[in-house]
Amino acid sequence: MTQNPTALHDLSLTELASQLRNRQVSAVEAAQHFLARTKAHPTLGAYVALNEDATLAQAQAADARIAAGTAGPLAGVPIAHKDIFVTKEFPSTAGSKMLAGYQSPFDATVVSKLAEAGAVTLGKLNCDEFAMGSANENSAIAPLGFDAPAPVRNPWDTSRIPGGSSGGSAVAVAARLAPAATGTDTGGSIRQPASFCGITGIKPTYGRASRYGMIAFASSLDQAGPMARSAEDCALLLSAMCGPDPDRDSTSLDVPAENFSAKLNDSIEGLRIGVPAEFFGEGLAPDVRAAVDGALKEYEKLGAKLVPITLPRTELSIPVYYIIAPAEASSNLSRFDGVKFGHRAKDYTDLVDMYKKTRAEGFGDEVKRRIMIGAYVLSHGYYDAYYLQAQKIRRMIADDFQNAFKECDVIAGPVAPTVAWKLGEHGSDPLADYLADIFTLPASLAGLPGMSVPAGFGEGGMPVGLQLIGNYFKEAQLLNTAHRLQQATDFHLRQPGGL
């Protein structure tokens, strides 16, 4: 192989894929480089599992396909997966003691689709337990290099949270421990950590990417998506991840996969960007607003038109989400009872006692909190008062977006009200974490595609993300809108110091 003048971890995914195709670097060399880099930076807590033999075997197979001229678009590109996706060759724990040591007999559809495109799996990434959290402080699994569970740390400032639940994924990409990673977004868990860590992440339209093999949190909200440095990289990944999977996922949409890279360089002259008044009110930190305003001005320079819009039920998204998501979680997590798989209590007197002790030992505080809330709102006498009402308002929130899209093509605003906060700052106040999701929840409840694009830096030099929300199946337009901003700015190219 010819000598590569740029360190492999400094190449974008698109650049690395090109070098692999042109045989300037081998897939084995790339895999070894990122494995060594991962082991050199364990203090961030991003990875929870490696399997070097499996990774190198996949890389060797990728090199063989490249040599034979049968390689896919991602041939040899190393990718790490959030530990919410099941994988045959790596443990799958969902960040929970309940699944400690669990080895799946199959790969999640998203994992297998990326593998079919040629991607090589580097390892599994830390996440909040069962994807429940906004800070990645809720993992019950010890990261690589740790003897006990530990929070993931933001590489821009290791005293701060990376965001959650896909915090390990965001940190791996931001710290150049992987060119890209998979994430899942239930209420903002791709967009918020992408914003806090200064990378790009996109949640596609609900049902675009199969949920088969994604350990369920809230089935009507969970959606897989890619996290990488740029919109260009995310387009390449999303093209491989999406596509119908009706035989294995009943919520999978019968919409064919498309090439999301095809229209990246289209002009955005005349694009109508909706700016919701509700996203710029009290509670939005001045430093975040300044960065978002700066990004919107860049769009005006590129020929886009800013249109004031309203999403009147934005504030209701928090109570609606925290009724619907826990309700679905309480149902989904009932399968973890110690009978067939996962943790089982050692000492118990009968079956009911085993259930109680297993679930008490296996689930963390946040998971228990959401199970209890969910069971309550679904219980007799409260279903109509809470769950049914929440579903009605959810429909109204979706209608608000459709009314807004009559006046604009894309909606833009902040991802979160503040930059990443300090580890432990929210302490035992889960409501503080919940309130941080106010700008990401509406799009999730409506099932719309949304993404976070680096837009600048705020207090303490911490990254700020611009949120872009599109109408159903408008991922290509979103990615084009993001790419044009990234051609005009360099925020997505900046990286944390000391790495």
Active site residues: 82, 165, 189
| Cβ–Cβ < 8 Å for 13, 229 | yes
Nearest to 119 by CA among 165, 181, 171: 181
Which residue(s) pair with 183 in the sheet?
225
Residues 6+ apart with CB under 8 A from 214: 84, 85, 86, 108, 110, 184, 222, 224
| Side chain identity at residue 87, one-letter code | T
d(CA 251, CA 254): 9
> Rg of the chain over CA atoms, in angstroms?
21
Phi-psi region of 453 (alpha: psi -120 to 50; beta: other; left: phi over 0): beta
Task: List, as one string, the DSSP characters of 224-257.
Answer: EEEEESSHHHHHHHHHHH-S--TTT-TT------
Nearest to 271 by CA among 481, 66, 114: 481
Nearest to 241 by CA among 199, 181, 310, 282: 181
Which residue(s) pair with 414 in the sheet?
466
d(CA 451, CA 468): 5
